Structure 1
Amino acid sequence: MQRVSSTSTIWRTIATNARNLFLFNDPSVHSFSTVSIGVTSRKLHQPEIPCDFLKWGSLGFYRTSRFATGFNPLKQKPLDSIVDVERLKDRYAEDIASIWDDYHICRGHIGASMKAKLYHLLEHRAKECRYFVIPLWRGSGYTTMFVQVQTPHMLFTGLEDYKARGTQASPYFTVSFYTEFAESKDLVLIRGDIVFTSKLTDSEAKWLMETAQSFYLNDVRYKLVERFNKETRDFEFKDVLQALDMPIL
C-alpha cells in the first residue's frame, strides 16, 4: 500500500515521462505492449440461468466471444463482432443500453453506456489531458493506478508497473467506447475488458472505469486532471484522495 508523498516531484516525473513516451498519435508506436492471456487464467463463472438469453439472441449477440486473450490499443474489437448491429437499429436507446449491460454481467467484461454529449466532452478533454492517477482502495490502504485516455480507449495499469517498465507496461484493464449509435440514438456503448484478472476484480474494474469518467466529466474533478497534465508542480495527490473521500495515509 502507498503513502502520500509530501513533494510533487514524483508526479512531475511521471507526467513528463508520459508526455514524452506515450506517442499514441503515431500508429507505428504502441503505448502498451500487446499481452497474451490464456483463457485458463480464469474460469468464468457461469450462472445457472445466465441473465437473459432471449434478449441476447433476439439482438444477435455473439455468445461465443471469448474472454480477453490480448489487446492492441490501436485495433478496437469491432462492435459487429460482439452484436449484430443491424438488429439494434430498430430498438430504442434505453432498450439497447439495458440489454448491453445485462449481456456483460458474469462474463468477465464490464458493460456500460453514456449519452453522446458526455462522450464528446470526454473526448474533447482527453485530447488536452490524457493522463491521470487514481487510488484504488484495498483493505487498509490503496494502490495507485495510472490512467491513459486516448478515445475511443481508456487504459489502466499499476503506477508501480508504469514506473518500472514505462511503455512496456501492460494494461491491467482496457475500456473501449463504441460510437456507432451516437448520432442516431444519442448513445455510446462502453465495454471494459480485464486483461489481468489477478490484478483486478470485476468490481474494482467497474469502479475504476466509473471513477475515471467522473474525473473527466465533472467540472470540479477535472481541474485536478488539468493540474496533473498542465501544472504538475501544483498537483497534490492528497487532493485526489479528498475528492474520493479516502483517508490520507
Structure 2
Amino acid sequence: MHLTSFMRSVLYRGSFALSKKLTQKNIMTTPRKLQEILEDLKGNPYYEKYAEKITELQKNAPEEFSSRVVDMGKSKTKKLEEIKGQQFSQLLNPKKKLAPEVSQTQEEHLDKIMKVDLIKNKSKEEIKEIWEEYHQTKNCIAAVIPSENFKTLEENCVKYPMFLFPLPRTQGYEFIMLQFEKRTAHFTPLLYYQVHNENAPECLTITHYEDFKESKGIVLMRGEYDKNIINAKEAQCLANQLQLYYTQDDKQKQKLLDTFTHHPDTFDHMDLVKEISNISLK
C-alpha cells in the first residue's frame, strides 16, 4: 500500500499512536540485542503458536530472520493487548497485495466485471439486484450507493484522504488504516505498516464505478478483500464505517475526521472504539 508523506507524518507524530504516542526504540544489530528482542517475543502469548515457523526461518534464512526481527524492533510501539498476536504472522509471512499486477494509479473499468451494454437500459432497481446477486458467490462485498451520497463521499475523501478504523477482534480491536486514491479506498492493518512500511499489503480495496451515476443516479461499489487477513463480515464492517464517516451528516464523526487530519496530536483512538459500538457485524 502506497502511503503519502503526509500519512507517514501523522502516523509518527505526537500522541496519535495506539498508546497515544508512537515511540521508536534504537535497536543495535548486535547478537546480544537480537537475543533481547527474541526474549521479548517469547513473552508474547502467541509465541508458541508460531514457535516452529520462527525456528525454521531462523535456521534456513538466518540473515533474513535477523533483518526482520531488527526492523520490527526499530518500529516497536506500545501496542494494545488485542493486536499482539498479529506480529508473528506478519513477521514470518508478509502477505502479497490483492492485485500486484495492477498499478495503484490505474483505474479499473466496470466492463471488466460485467457487460455494461447488457444492463444499461435496465432500471436502477434491476441493476441493483443484478449487481448484488452477481457478487453473492464472489470473495468480495458489493453495494449500490445513491449518487448524492457518493458526491458527499468524494468531497470528504479530498478533505480527509486518510483515516483509521477499529475492527472488532476476539481479543479487542485491530486498527485498520484507510487511504483514498481517486475513486478507490485502500485499507491495510496499522501493524502491517509498522512492520512493512510502504510495502504493507492491503486487506481490502473498495472501488466505486460511476458508469450509472448520471443516467440512473447510482454508483456501484465493489470491495475485494484478502480472506487470509479479514473475512466477509469484517470487510463489510469496514465498508459500513466508511459510509458512516464519509457520507452521513454526523457531527461527532466529522469532528473525528477533522481532528485526525488537522490536529493529530490531540486525536484519541479510543473515540473510534466508542463510535463503533453502534455498528453491527451481522
TM-score (norm 2): 0.62
Q: Which residue of 2 aligns with 1:22?
A: none
1:139 and 1:145, CA in 2 relative to 1: closer, same or farther beyond 3 A? Answer: same
Q: Which residue of 1 aligns with 2:240?
A: 210
Identity among equivalent positions (%) equals 26
Q: Which residue of 2 aligns with 1:49?
A: none
Give the SS at the match of 2:157. Answer: helix
1:35 and 1:71 in contact (8 A); partners too:
no
* Distance apart, 1:36 and its partner CA: 5.8
1:13 and 1:89, CA in 2 relative to 1: closer, same or farther beyond 3 A? Answer: farther
| Higher CA-based Rg | 2
Q: Which amino acid aligns with 1:212?
A: L
2:189 and 2:203 in contact (8 A); partners too:
yes
The size of the alignment, in residue pairs, is 190
Q: Does 1:230 align with 2:262?
A: yes
Q: Name which of 200, 204, 217 aligns with 2:230.
A: 200
Q: Which residue of 2 aligns with 1:167?
A: 198
Q: Name which of 6, 10, 16 aligns with 2:17.
A: 10
Q: Which amino acid aligns with 1:226?
A: D
1:179 and 1:157, CA in 2 relative to 1: closer, same or farther beyond 3 A? Answer: same
TM-score (norm 1): 0.70
Q: Which residue of 2 aligns with 1:89?
A: 120
Give the SS at the match of 2:277. Answer: coil
Q: Which residue of 1 aligns with 2:74?
A: none
Give the SS at the match of 1:137. Answer: strand
1:79 and 1:13, CA in 2 relative to 1: closer, same or farther beyond 3 A? Answer: farther
Q: Does 1:137 align with 2:168?
A: yes
Which range moved further: 228-237 or 183-192? 228-237
Q: Which residue of 2 aligns with 1:239?
A: 271
1:112 and 1:190 in contact (8 A); partners too:
yes
Query: In structure 1, how many angstroms separate the alpha carbons of the residues matched to 2:211 and 2:275?
Result: 33
Structure 1 unaligned runs (5+)? Answer: 1-6, 15-33, 38-67
* Distance apart, 1:150 and its partner CA: 2.5
Q: Superposition pairs for residues 35-50 of structure 1, below 5 Å? A: 35=96
Give the SS at the match of 1:183. Answer: coil
Q: Which amino acid aligns with 1:210?
A: N
CA RMSD of aligned residues (A): 2.3
1:162 and 1:169 in contact (8 A); partners too:
yes
1:36 and 1:70 in contact (8 A); partners too:
no
2:15 and 2:267 in contact (8 A); partners too:
yes
Q: Which 4+ runs in 1 deviate beyond 6 A?
A: 11-14
Structure 2 unaligned runs (5+)? Answer: 1-13, 23-94
Give the SS at the match of 1:164. Answer: helix
Q: Superposition pairs for residues 101-180 of structure 1, below 5 Å? A: 101-180=132-211
Q: Which amino acid aligns with 1:233?
A: D
Which range moved further: 182-191 or 208-217? 208-217
Select the structure that is richer in helix: 2
Q: Which amino acid aligns with 2:232?
A: D
Query: In structure 2, how many angstroms separate the alpha carbons of the residues matched to 1:131 and 1:36?
Result: 19
Query: In structure 2, how many angstroms separate the alpha carbons of the residues matched to 1:9 and 1:136?
Result: 17
2:209 and 2:221 in contact (8 A); partners too:
yes
Q: Deviations over 1:57-99 (max 9, x none)?
A: xxxxxxxxxxx67553222332011111112111111110121
1:174 and 1:127, CA in 2 relative to 1: closer, same or farther beyond 3 A? Answer: same
